[in-house]
A and B are shown apart, each in its own frame.
Chain A
Amino acid sequence: DQQVKQNSPSLSVQEGRISILNCDYTNSMFDYFLWYKKYPAEGPTFLISISSIKDKNEDGRFTVFLNKSAKHLSLHIVPSQPGDSAVYFCAASDTGTASKLTFGTGTRLQVTL
């Protein structure tokens, strides 16, 4: 069963506009959430994370929002830039155990000029 879901396989956004990537999870034991960015033939690069004790975390152009009651998180990128074009993975962890990450299937973001 897919415990972390990214239901949009792809997203196209114009340069300068906001990109919103969504993620849903089912395991209520997850208490730490991360977003990774991946270019082809490279490993995932850590972007931003959020603990379940918060509902928002910002880092520059990237903001992650967490809605625990809905088991939903989103990544906002403002403004979007062509270099942001990549596959974005949502990941979740139950920090009470081994902190292994459970990943979604990814959303391919394309930022157009």
Chain B
Amino acid sequence: DTGVSQDPRHKITKRGQNVTFRCDPISEHNRLYWYRQTLGQGPEFLTYFQNEAQLEKSRLLSDRFSAERPKGSFSTLEIQRTEQGDSAMYLCASSSSRTSGGQLYEQYFGPGTRLTVT
């Protein structure tokens, strides 16, 4: 178990550019979540996949945001036409929908991608 990994760890981009982040979940986890965290706040839910199906999207996820999980393994989050308000830490988490010793609902987070839009 190598944990959840995210790439890149840091991204600086100019306003108006597109960016894409990648998340590799824990291998046996079939659920994958994206969250966003800004300074002084807790993580806020963006979207969630079970296997390759995107089952829920937050109203925080504007039309400029798109997420995919094409083969039910890794996921990408793309932000088009970035704005300064998109600057945040983007966190990916994974969990299993299969009960295992009461650990059904714990989500395990990656290190995050810090996005700075200049």
A residues neighboring B (CB under 8 Å): 4, 32, 34, 36, 41-46, 49, 51, 89, 91, 93, 95, 97-106
List residues of chain A with CB within 8 A of the CB of B105.
32, 34, 49, 93, 95, 99
Assign chain B's interface to a size class: 20 to 34
Query: Which chain B residues (16-36) contact chain A, with CB distance < 8 Å?
Result: 31, 33, 35
Query: Which chain B residues (28-54) contact chain A, with CB distance < 8 Å?
Result: 31, 33, 35, 40-45, 48
Smallest beta-carbon distance A46→chain B, Å: 5
> Known: A34-B105, A44-B109. Is A105-B40 also a contact (CB below 8 A)?
yes
Q: Does B112 lie within 8 Å of A106, measured CB to CB?
A: no
Smallest beta-carbon distance B85→chain A, Å: 19
B residues neighboring A (CB under 8 Å): 4, 6, 31, 33, 35, 40-45, 48, 55-56, 91, 93, 95, 102, 104-112, 114
Q: Does B110 lie within 8 Å of A101, measured CB to CB?
A: no
| Selected contact of A98 from candidates B48, B93, B110, CB within 8 Å | B48
List residues of chain A with CB within 8 A of the CB of B102.
51
Closest to B44 in A: A103
Q: Does B40 lie within 8 Å of A43, measured CB to CB?
A: no
List residues of chain B with CB within 8 A of the CB of A45.
109
